Structure formats: structure tokens, C-alpha cells
Amino acid sequence: MIRKIFEEYKEILLYSLIALFVGIIIGGIDAVFGEVLIKITEVRSNHVIKLIPFLPIAGVMIILLYRYCGKESIKGMTLIFQAGHGEIDHIPKRLVPLVIISTWITHIFGGSAGREGVAVQLGATVAHTISKKLKWLNNSRVLLVIGMAAGFAGLFQTPIAATFFAMEVLVSGIFLYEVLLPALVASFAASTTSHLLGLEKFSVDIPNTLSFSSEVLFKLVLVGIIFGIVGGIFAYLLSYCKKKFALLIENPVKRIFIIGCILSVLFILLHMGRYCGLGTNLINISFTNGQIYEYDWVLKLVLTVLTLAAGFQGGEVTPLFSIGASLGVVLGSLLGLPMMLIAALGYAAVFGSATNTLLAPILIGAEVFGAQNTLYFAVVCSLAFIFNGNKTIYTAQKRFSFFSSEGMDD
């Protein structure tokens, strides 16, 4: 009997053992990347006038770095999705140092970008590389998903949300449940490793201060729809601007230099670097009763879109967190709801809307802000997912639909 059980589960147990090893490696890389990024943010914040004017030159450095060291790697997340869909069988190892260095460059000189793209890319690349060394593995895509989960978990230290994000992001509407156990193992290993190496987790315990009623439910439905629309707008504008800028300025070096010049002026004029970098300043202000302006979320959205569309490197998720949190403060004030709670709901829901994911943002809410408000996260994130216009920041993400004749939309 025991032998029969072992035979039935040996493959999943084997993947889980490999996932533990992969998670430790990726958690260590995440810790180094995250710690350096924190130091970079501090330096830039203390020298705004000295550093931001050099943003266009930094942009040129990034393009030339990719041109001479790895042209293919500039596709970034698209490569990861293509590998996940079985469209390609190779992710260049040089992608890892290139995306890390170029993201550090973007942030030191003030670009408005995130960091999760780096974590997911490095996690997927490391795991995919290991899978190629283990020729006897039946499915290299399993390790790819494991690596994506570990990368996200190591950086944000939300292992359960990271697991479900990796399971649902490749194909929106389908959950890769067969990867659940090894992805969980890798996520907890990466999260624990990065924490032990000194990378701190952002968390705020928000008490349940709402008395549930029909009026409160109506207001939550309203904010859920708004968060969904805003996330969809972000994804649409990012895709539109990338295509438009490429048509208007075909040379990528000229493109990033010209847009970099515009951005450097805007970042200085608009509250002296308030909208640079990750947006963690806006997130912290949102949860410490600081001054949030009604237009903070709009400017952060526009400047992040311009930064990434120009060709600067980084991710979208942390800026999405800041957009959602600052918008939540505004909506909470307007609707007479607890501002910190609505900020937390926006933090999760705008992220879910823009990435076209459902369970991951609900679990992000529970892991970052406490499980006591999970019901509210479920309601708001579900509505945001429904009302995002089926948009996504990941152009290579596939979508499953029962209403499509083939079930899968590109």
C-alpha cells in the first residue's frame, strides 16, 4: 500500500523537493536585489535634483546595455509567458543580470517603475535553467511556474498569494492546480530565505471597522467597479503608449532619451520626485494618515505608463499598489468609508485588475492587511476583475473564455 501511494505521488514529491532548492536560491537573489533597491531609493530621495536630470542618459545606457549584451532579453516578461505557453524552449540566462542592473539604473535616476517584473523574470529564468540541467524531468513548464511563484514570494513575502499568482497569470481563467504543492514549497522557501537575509515585508494590520449593511455593500460594489476600471485603463494605456511611441520614434535610443527628458522635468516639477520610483512613499502615506492629494493616483498612473512605455525597466505591480492605495484614500473620504480599509482594498484590487488575476489579489489583501477583512477583499477584487475590460499588462497572457468557440483567446 505504501509503495503504491509513493508511486502515485513520487513525481509531485520530486518536484516539491526540487522546488525547495529552487526557492532558497531565488529567495537569496531576491534579497540582494531588494536590499540594493531600497538603498538606491534612499539615495535618490536625498539627491533628487542631482540625479533625476540624468534620467534620459540612464535610458540610453539601458538600451545600449541590452543591445550589446542581450537583444532578446529586452522582451522580458514576454519571454517568460512564451516559455510558459510552450512557444519557446529557451530563456537566456543573461536576462537575470540585465533586468536587475537596468532596473537599478531606472530607479536611481527617478523612473517610475516597479520591481515584481524583475523578481518573476529572475525566478522563472533560474528555475527554467535548472530544468534544462535535469534532463529526466517530464515538464520544464512546471519548474517555470515554480520559479515565478518563488520570485514573487521572495520579494513581497506573500507566499500564498505568490503561488496563486503564478498558477493563474499565464492563462487568465485557468488555474494550474497540479503545480500547487511544489509552488507552495518554493514560495515559502523563497519568502523565508529573503526574510532571514534581512529583506523586510510590508504589512499593515487593519481592523474590521465596517458594519455590513446594504448601503455598505452598495459602496463596496461601487469602489470595486472603479478599481477595476482604473486597472484596465492602466493596462490599456501601457499597451497603447508602447505601440504609439514605437511608431512616432522608431529608434529606441532616441525614443527613451526624448521621453526621458520630458519625464525628468515632470518628476522635478511635480512635487520634487514624489512620483519617482516604486511609489512606496504613497503607500506609506496612505496607511499613516499622511497627505494624499486627489490627483496622486492619476499622476502616478500616467508617469509609470510613460516610464515603462519609453523603455525603462522594472515592473508594474508596486506602482499599481500605490495607485490603488492612494485612490482608495480618496474614495474612502468621498464615500464616508474607513480610508485605510478602502486604501487596502484598492492596493489589492487595482493590482488584480491590471494583471487580470482574481485569487492572487484577494490573498495579497489577506497576507498584507490581515485575514479579518477577507470578505471585503473577495467582493471588491471580484468586481475589479470583472470590470477591467479584460485588459492586462501582460501582452502575452492568454485568456480562457467559455463564450469563445475555442475557449482560449490570444
Residue 408 pairs in a beta bridge with 400
Q: Is the pLDDT of residue 406 over 70?
A: no
Band of pLDDT at residue 7, cut at 50, 70 and 90:
low
pTM: 0.95
Helix %, strand %, coil % of the chain (to 5): 75, 0, 25
End-to-end CA distance of the chain: 45
Could you state, in order of their start, the residue ranges of all structural domains in the chain?
A: 2-196, 214-400
CA–CA gap between residue 305 and residue 181 (Å, rounded): 36
Q: Is the pLDDT of residue 289 over 60?
A: yes
Band of pLDDT at residue 137, cut at 50, 70 and 90:
low
For 102-141, give the secondary structure using H, E and C.
HHHHHHHCCCCCCCHHHHHHHHHHHHHHHHHHCCCCCCHH
Q: How many residues does the chain have?
A: 410
- The CATH number that domain 214-400 falls under is 1.10.3080.10
pLDDT tens digits along 320-336: 999 999 999 999 999 99
Burial class (CB in 10 A: 0-12, 13-18, 19+), 10: exposed
Band of pLDDT at residue 407, cut at 50, 70 and 90:
low
Q: Is the pLDDT of residue 5 over 90?
A: no
- Same topology, domains 2-196 and 214-400? Answer is yes
Q: Is the pLDDT of residue 59 over 80?
A: yes
pLDDT average, residue stretch 97-107? 96
pLDDT tens digits along 220-238: 999 999 999 999 999 999 9
- The CATH number that domain 2-196 falls under is 1.10.3080.10
pLDDT average, residue stretch 401-408? 58
